[in-house]
Structure 1
Amino acid sequence: MPALEIDRLTKTYGSLRALDSLSFSVEAGEIFGFVGSNGAGKSTTMRIALGVLSADSGEVRWDGSPLGFDGRRRVGYMPEERGLYPKMKVGEQLVYLARLHGLDANAARVSMEHWTEKLGVDARRGDEVQKLSLGNQQRVQLAAALVHDPQILVLDEPFSGLDPVAVDVMSTVLRERADAGAPVLFSSHQLELVERLCDRVGIIRAGSMVAVGSVDELRSTTAPRWLLDAPALPDISALPGVHVISREGSRTVLEVPDTPGAEQPVLRAALAAGPVHEFSPQRASLTELFRHAVSRDDTAQPVAGGTTPARDARTSEGTPA
């Protein structure tokens, strides 16, 4: 099945390097979450993929070939800055956009009716876009990305401004499109949603990909953590490599060395100090992984300052760019 490949994209704006040899791929049938702080390069990457911007170097490929004009007609794109005509009626606009992608009048209308009903805005087909709430505008924008039955989805902050019900609707649609074989790439700052929805995640910082993998793979790059629920916190200052991450009441999260049995001295110290109600391994959340990956400055870097090569975050070696 065809994959969407981002291969060594570099983009500069004057003295700033927005993308620095950025590479990753989105497989067919996969939902890929693209996350990073503001200014990290997410939107620039998507705009290059869609031909809105040109890269200084590098290539975007689909099914092994450069993604050109004909290929881009098969992409469903949702820009961060919404691209709908505010004074045009919803139904007329979606039919118009579908026809621009090559559908005939009847197929365009059938598709418009399907997606407006699917996304819960069928009652607003006769309304101007500017008269809709932000959430309904988001739904119509997604319908515009889907109305021509695209084979690839590229969505920039598609969940922004949506209520929980709309988030569930949109999540279901993205999963269905991926299950139908489409590569789905989307960016979001809602990391709990990314963690729940995505098959893989890429974390970008200063134009370089610093972590790529499933959430479970990314978790393997952090030191093991244990939850200790004990009224009396034991003295762990003498235990090598053990650090307190957080404490709330009697519950303490500890980081221990990544070696077999490294947690046992902690347990012995806790039992010596008093009763232990719980001692269990903890999994780092995507939010914690993200904070760790972007803990340094996350803005475009001066070209003259040089760069550090990005690493694959599925290994624990190397220094993030």
Structure 2
Amino acid sequence: MDVALGQTSPSRNASGRLAIEARGLVKRFDGTLAVDGVDLTVQVGAIYGILGPNGAGKTTTLRMMLGIIDPDEGVRRVLGHDRPSEIARLIGYLPEERGLYPSMKAYEAIAFMGALRGMPLKEGRERGRKLLEEYGLPVERQIRQMSKGMAQQVQLLGTLVHDPQLVVLDEPFSGLDAINQGKLERLIRGLADKGTTVIFSTHVIAHAERLCDEVAIIAGGKVPYAGSVDAARDRIPAQVRLETASKDGPWRAALPPGSKAEGNFWNFALPESGIEPLLRALIEGEAGILSLSIERAGLHDAFVAIAGEAAARALAEEKPLEARR
């Protein structure tokens, strides 16, 4: 399998066709509502992030979409099919619960995962060796002799060995160090560049902000937001930080209500009219502009505004699966 590692924005791959369409998904476990009316649409070739803390319903939603479990209510279509389990060969799925046979050699583990998706073992072994060499991993070493991070990379390659059209990764960055997280981000971009649809769940918003054009925020089994990263960030006005030579004067009347002073600095939300009218008033009033910066809200700020502070705290306190055991 040849995976390009380009830096093309996933938006270039958007075709208008849907890889995933889920409407009104509901799931209960022992009478407890785990997912409550989730709607999601994911375009072919997109990188799509599902954000939320542990227990929010991310994994249950993914498993319903893939046909691993059936929803109690609602419908879903995957790559145009109503029964996702019947097109498993077109899907690569990395569950949060990592699991490989410890006695298997790395290339055999990849071949075995490919065989579960209909790939002949001989071809799987050849591709497994090639992939391991490409990513600098030992080919002949047994899984039990590998670190957790290396074993996780082997399982990821096994998820991709059969060239799936749709790749679904549940908390793929968990347990990886910073270097390997960077490698995984490049791999995800490369998959999207060649037209593969990638959906991943995460509680680390920075990964989604760097990789995704669109995200769904899940909190308490509901999706209060699904859409573009830009639209989510735009829900919060950009913040302006202004430094003036003068501390007072008629120009102060032009500052938006609620502006906060810190010495010669002023902090306020960007006015709806934009910055130009304010700049004219400051210049005409001889405020003496020494510096001015406009900082757009980040996806984390948008998450707090959309999902609430309690969900944001739970997200910040999230631990990797290994630490929760």
Please give the range of the TM-score, normalised by the shorter of the 2 chains: 0.7 to 0.9
Q: Contact 2:113–2:159 at 8 Å: present in 1 too?
A: no
AA partner of residue 297 (structure 2): A
Q: Contact 1:239–1:265 at 8 Å: present in 2 too?
A: no
Q: Contact 1:90–1:126 at 8 Å: present in 2 too?
A: yes
Q: Contact 2:110–2:155 at 8 Å: present in 1 too?
A: no
Q: Equivalent of 1:67, from 65, 83, 95? A: 83
User: Which blocks of at least 5 consecutive residues in structure 2 are unaligned?
Assistant: 1-16, 313-325
Cα separation, 2, equivalents of 1:65 and 1:219: 33
AA partner of residue 142 (structure 1): L
1:228–1:240: structure 2 CA closer, same or farther, 3 Å change rule? Answer: closer
Q: Contact 2:34–2:220 at 8 Å: present in 1 too?
A: yes
Report the counterpart of residue 212 of structure 2 in structure 1: 198
Matching of residues 169-184 of structure 1 within 5 Å: 169-184=183-198
Report the counterpart of residue 321 of structure 2 in structure 1: none
Cα displacement string for residues 7-42 of structure 1 (whole angstroms, at most 9, x for unaligned residues): 221112244322111011111111011111222111
Matching of residues 100-249 of structure 1 within 5 Å: 100-121=116-137, 123=138, 125-229=139-243, 241-242=257-258, 244=260
Q: Contact 1:267–1:279 at 8 Å: present in 2 too?
A: no
Q: Contact 1:35–1:204 at 8 Å: present in 2 too?
A: yes
SS at match of 1:277: strand
Deviation at 1:43, TM superposition (A): 1.0
Size of the alignment, in residue pairs?
A: 294
Q: Contact 1:256–1:263 at 8 Å: present in 2 too?
A: no
Q: Equivalent of 1:282, from 295, 302, 316? A: 295
Deviation at 1:215, TM superposition (A): 2.1
Q: Contact 1:152–1:184 at 8 Å: present in 2 too?
A: yes
Cα separation, 2, equivalents of 1:52 and 1:250: 59
Cα displacement string for residues 187-221 of structure 1 (whole angstroms, at most 9, x for unaligned residues): 12222221111121221121222222222222222
Deviation at 1:45, TM superposition (A): 0.8
Cα separation, 1, equivalents of 2:304 and 2:102: 37
**Amino-acid identity (%):** 34
Cα separation, 2, equivalents of 1:218 and 1:4: 21
Cα separation, 1, equivalents of 2:77 and 2:141: 38
Q: Contact 1:26–1:184 at 8 Å: present in 2 too?
A: no
AA partner of residue 116 (structure 1): L
Cα separation, 2, equivalents of 1:82 and 1:116: 18
Asked if 1:84 corresponds to 2:92, the answer is: no
Cα separation, 2, equivalents of 1:218 and 1:34: 13
Deviation at 1:172, TM superposition (A): 1.9
Q: Contact 1:224–1:255 at 8 Å: present in 2 too?
A: yes
Cα separation, 2, equivalents of 1:57 and 1:109: 41
Give the helix-richer structure, 1 or 2. Answer: 2
Cα separation, 2, equivalents of 1:234 and 1:16: 60
AA partner of residue 222 (structure 2): S
Cα separation, 2, equivalents of 1:169 and 1:147: 17
AA partner of residue 272 (structure 2): D
Q: Contact 1:119–1:169 at 8 Å: present in 2 too?
A: no
Q: Contact 2:18–2:41 at 8 Å: present in 1 too?
A: no
User: Which blocks of at least 5 consecutive residues in structure 1 are unaligned?
Assistant: 300-321
Q: Contact 1:115–1:146 at 8 Å: present in 2 too?
A: no
Further displaced range: 32-41 or 159-168 = 159-168
Q: Equivalent of 2:68, from 52, 57, 60? A: 52
Deviation at 1:267, TM superposition (A): 7.4
AA partner of residue 61 (structure 1): R
Cα separation, 2, equivalents of 1:53 and 1:251: 56
TM-score (norm 1): 0.79
Cα separation, 1, equivalents of 2:121 and 2:183: 27
Report the counterpart of residue 305 of structure 1 in structure 2: none
Cα separation, 1, equivalents of 2:140 and 2:71: 40
TM-score (norm 2): 0.78
SS at match of 2:98: coil
AA partner of residue 140 (structure 2): G
Q: Contact 2:215–2:226 at 8 Å: present in 1 too?
A: yes
Q: Contact 1:241–1:256 at 8 Å: present in 2 too?
A: no
Q: Equivalent of 2:304, from 291, 304, 307? A: 291
1:85–1:226: structure 2 CA closer, same or farther, 3 Å change rule? Answer: same
Cα separation, 1, equivalents of 2:177 and 2:201: 18
AA partner of residue 156 (structure 1): D
